[in-house]
Amino acid sequence: MAKVKRIRPASDKSISHRAVIFSSISKGRVKISNMLFSDDTLRTIKAMQSIGVEIEISSKHVIVNGAGKYSLKEPNNVIDMGNSGTSARLISGLLSAQNFFSVITGDESLRKRPMGRVVKPLSQMGATILARNNNLLPMAIKGTNPTTGIIYKSPVASAQVKSAILLAGLYSHDTVRIEEPYKSRDHSENMLKAFGVDVIVDKNSIELGRNRELTGDFSINVPADISSAAFFMVYAALKENSEIILSDVVLNPTRSGILRVFDMASVDYEIINERVENFEKVGDILVRHTKELSPFTIEGELIPTLIDEIPILSILAVFCDGASYIRNASELRKKESDRIAAICTNLRRVGVEVEEFEDGFAIKGDRNIKLRPAVIDTQFDHRIAMSFSILKAVSGVDINISETKSISVSYPNFLDHLSYVSL
Predicted TM-score of the model (pTM): 0.94
Q: What 3-state DSSP class applies to 280? A: strand
> What is the per-residue pLDDT across 155-196, written as a single tens digit (0 to 9) for each?
999 999 999 999 999 999 999 999 999 999 999 999 999 999
- Domain final residue pick, 203, 221, 239: 221
Flag whether 98 is in a domain: yes
Both 202 and 230 in one domain: the answer is: no
Say which of 40, 248, 308, 381 is annotated catalytic.
Answer: 308
- Cα-Cα-Cα-Cα torsion 93, 97, 103, 107, nearest 10 degrees, comes to -10
* Co-location of 112 and 191 in the same domain: yes
Q: How confident is the model at residue 224 (pLDDT cuts 50, 70, 90)?
A: very high
Q: 322 and 340 share a domain?
A: yes
Asked whether 407 and 415 are in contact (CB, 8 A), the reply is: yes
**Judgement on whether residues 206 and 228 belong to the same structural domain of the protein:** no
Mean pLDDT of 206-210: 97
Task: Give the CA distances from residue 306 to residues 68, 226, 301, 381, in Å, rounded to whole numbers and listed in that order.
Answer: 34, 9, 10, 17
Q: Whole-angstrom Cα distance, residue 208 to residue 131?
A: 28
Sheet hosting strand 27-33, strand order edge to edge = 54-57, 61-67, 27-33, 218-221
Give the whole-angstrom CA distance, residue 378 versus residue 59: 30
227 and 342 part of one domain: yes
pLDDT tens for each residue of 256-294: 999 999 999 999 999 999 999 989 999 999 999 999 999
Say how many domains are in the chain. Answer: 2
Query: What is the model's pLDDT at position 278?
Result: 87
Containing structural domain, residue 121: 13-221
Inside any domain, residue 6: no
pLDDT digits (tens, 9 = 90+) for 37-78: 999 999 999 999 999 999 999 988 999 999 999 999 999 999
Q: What is the pLDDT of residue 2?
A: 65
Query: Which pLDDT value is given to residue 357?
Result: 98
Q: Average the pLDDT over 197-206 and give the result.
A: 96
Tens-place pLDDT, residues 339-375:
999 999 999 999 999 999 999 999 999 999 999 999 9
Buried b (16+ CB within 10 A) or exposed e, 229-250: bbbbbbbbbbbeebbbbbbbbb
Looking at 221, 247, 279, the residue that finishes a domain is: 221
Residue 113, domain member (yes or no): yes
Give the DSSP H or E segment for 101: strand 101-105
Catalytic residue check, 308:
yes
Please say if the pLDDT value at position 211 is more than 70: yes
197 belongs to a structural domain: yes
Which segment of 123-127, 330-334, 384-388 scores lowest on mean pLDDT? 330-334
Tell me the average pLDDT across 298-304.
96
DSSP, res 218: E
Confidence band for 134, pLDDT divided at 50, 70 and 90: confident
2 in a domain, yes or no?
no
Give the span between the Cα atoms of 45 and 54, in whole angstroms: 10
Categorize the per-residue pLDDT at 6 as very low, low, confident or very high, splitting at 50, 70 and 90: very high
Whole-angstrom distance, CA of residue 55 vs CA of residue 74: 17
pLDDT for res 3: 83
